[in-house]
Amino acid sequence: MRKLVAGNWKMNGTRADLSELQAIVQAHPAPGVDIVICPPATLLFQAAQMTAGHAPDIGAQDCHPAASGAHTGDISAPMIADTGATAVIVGHSERRETYNETNDLIHAKASAAHASGLIAIICVGETLAERDAGQTLQVIGDQLAGSTPDGATSTNTVIAYEPVWAIGTGKIPTLDQIGEVHDFIREFLTARLESAALDLRILYGGSVKPTNAAEIFAVPNVDGALVGGASLSNADFTPIIKALEATF
């Protein structure tokens, strides 16, 4: 399995910030892991052109489940594929929370991504209240069951475990807690998808930094990371990529 570091720029970045993407391109002429950068939709086309034939790959941060239609402000999976991007994040907790996105909707978005040949990076994660109530594995199981299409395979799907309370806070779960959830996700996917899930990459996300990446990557069944804040600059992102490369 080729491990993966994905960077989620969220609502950050104008064309001037593509200089950071250029720096990432130059820093990784032949990376030992897969790299995906998910800039805002306004930069997808230019980012995909800038990285054509090189790492990183480019992904979007969301898509509408329909291919086209009267959906003001949305972008569809075929439109994302048309930019040259090859992946899309679906079900990020910021969208589950802010836009009340349900597992059914995320399932439809992931299916739309697959239909357009995009890798769906499906996010799951518990809130702090759910963790404190001992509901973490129940919540993750429900989100996985509801949001993962039956056609998910290791080539068209990535799961990102992102505890909501660890995103952008500087807090991370203990390594045992991360391991418990990643083992659970691996067992869940294997029971549901059988051999198609064997090499399906399970990323950890939430306050991954150059300082904690190596210890997180040493946890079994952690196949990489989904990185927010630290993906905005090459200076922070490259050490995280190098930490994953060093796990071989």
Using CB under 6 A as the criterion, which residues of the chain lie in contact with ligand PGA when the complex forms? 8, 162, 167-168, 205-208, 226-230
**Distance of alpha carbon 135 from alpha carbon 27, whole angstroms:** 41
User: Rounded to the nearest whole angstrom, what is the least distance from the CB of residue 100 to ligand PGA in the complex?
Assistant: 18
Locate 32 and state its tokens: 């030992």
With respect to ligand PGA, which residue has the nearer C-beta, 93 or 154? Answer: 93
Supply the residues annotated as catalytic. Answer: 92, 162
Q: Which residue is nearest to ligand PGA (CB)?
A: 228
> Least distance in Å: CB of 123 to ligand PGA?
7
Of the pair 58, 193, the CB lying nearest ligand PGA is at 58
Contact 164, 125 (CB under 8 A): yes
User: How far is CA 113 from its chain centroid?
Assistant: 13
How far apart are the C-alpha atoms of 49 and 39, rounded to whole Å?
13
* CB 53, min distance to ligand PGA, A: 27
Q: Which two tokens stand for residue 92?
A: 């990020």
The span from the CA of 48 to the CA of 46, in Å, is 5
CB of 182 vs ligand PGA, minimal distance in Å: 16
Distance CA 182, CA 222 (A): 7
Among residues 8 and 238, whose Cβ is nearest to ligand PGA?
8
> At 4, is the secondary structure helix, strand, or coil?
strand
Q: Which is nearer to ligand PGA, 25 or 167 (CB)?
A: 167
